[in-house]
Amino acid sequence: MNSLTRWIMACVVLALPLAASAQLNSNTTNVSLSATLGESLSVTLNSGATQSITSLTPASVNNFNGGPANVTTAWVLKPGRTAVALYAYFDSPTSAMVHTDSGNTVDIPAAAIKAQLNGTGAHNALGTNLAGMFGGTATGLSLFSQAITGTNKNSSRTDTITLQLDLSGPANGQDMTQLPADTYSGTMHIRAQATP
């Protein structure tokens, strides 16, 4: 046997174990995957939940103590949402803060309560009709409206809301300079809405 033949035979012998141990594959089975991120919109009151004026000054603008309210609005939205807005409102335009003395029939209207966002601009009255959005006779103020784009569909923002009680003139047709002595109390709601 010449060396070429021996070399060919050696290669064949070496290749035999490789062919005998060739790869073997099983059948294929599948795993279905699913993940859901639900749409959400929330408002969290971080501080300023209880505010008061212990001694009102008649015929003037009075600032509430215990504030400002610090609010975080957070959202995770579906495509097609165009804006997120935050509102402060009362259930009634005429009795945002109600009297407690049985001899008094005068309540403080929503328009006498004013709010300012993040310490800038004027304080604005909570006198806008929001009944179409929040039902009943809801009356309040839009605090902000933020456009939603592809870069902020999952986001949040934190704002401060400073409140005043304006007794310096008329509110909702009522002369606030003549407010009777009494203790008045009420609840202001803060709520967010995503559109459309």
Is residue 15 in a domain? no
The reply to whether 24 falls in a domain is no
pLDDT at 21: 76
SS3 of 23-44: CCCCCCCCCCCCCCCCCEEEEE
Query: Does 132 or 10 have the greater pLDDT score?
Result: 132
Which residues constitute the domain of residue 88? 41-47+56-195
Does 129 reside within a domain? Answer: yes
Question: Could you give the number of structural domains in the chain?
Answer: 1
Q: Per 3-state DSSP, what percentage of the chain is helix, strand, and coil (rounded to 5)?
A: 15, 40, 45
Residue 146 lies in a domain: yes
Q: Please give the backbone phi and psi of residue 135, each rounded to the nearest 5 degrees, phi first.
A: 80, 175
Where would I find the H helices in 39-161?
Answer: 131-134
If pLDDT is split at 50, 70 and 90, which confidence band does 8 have? Answer: low
Coil, strand or helix at 148: coil
- Report d(CA 68, CA 116) in Å as an integer: 9
Q: Classify residue 3: in a domain, yes or no.
A: no
Write down the pLDDT at residue 171. 96
Residue 10 domain-assigned? no
Reported pTM = 0.85
Q: Which two tokens stand for residue 47?
A: 């501080």
Residue 30 domain-assigned (yes or no): no
Strands, E assignment, the chain: 40-47, 61-63, 69-76, 83-90, 98-99, 113-117, 124-125, 128-129, 139-147, 154-166, 170-171, 174-175, 184-185, 189-195
Residue 55 burial class via C-beta count within 10 angstroms: exposed 0-12, middle 13-18, buried 19 and up: exposed
Residue 156 lies in a domain: yes
Residue 116 to residues 120, 142, 158: CA-CA distances in angstroms?
A: 7, 11, 14
Inform me whether the pLDDT recorded for 118 exceeds 60: yes
Instruction: Determine the average pLDDT of the residues in 171-195.
Output: 97
- What pLDDT, on a 0 to 100 scale, did the predictor assign at position 16? 52
Mean of pLDDT values over 175-186: 97
CATH number at residue 189: 2.60.40
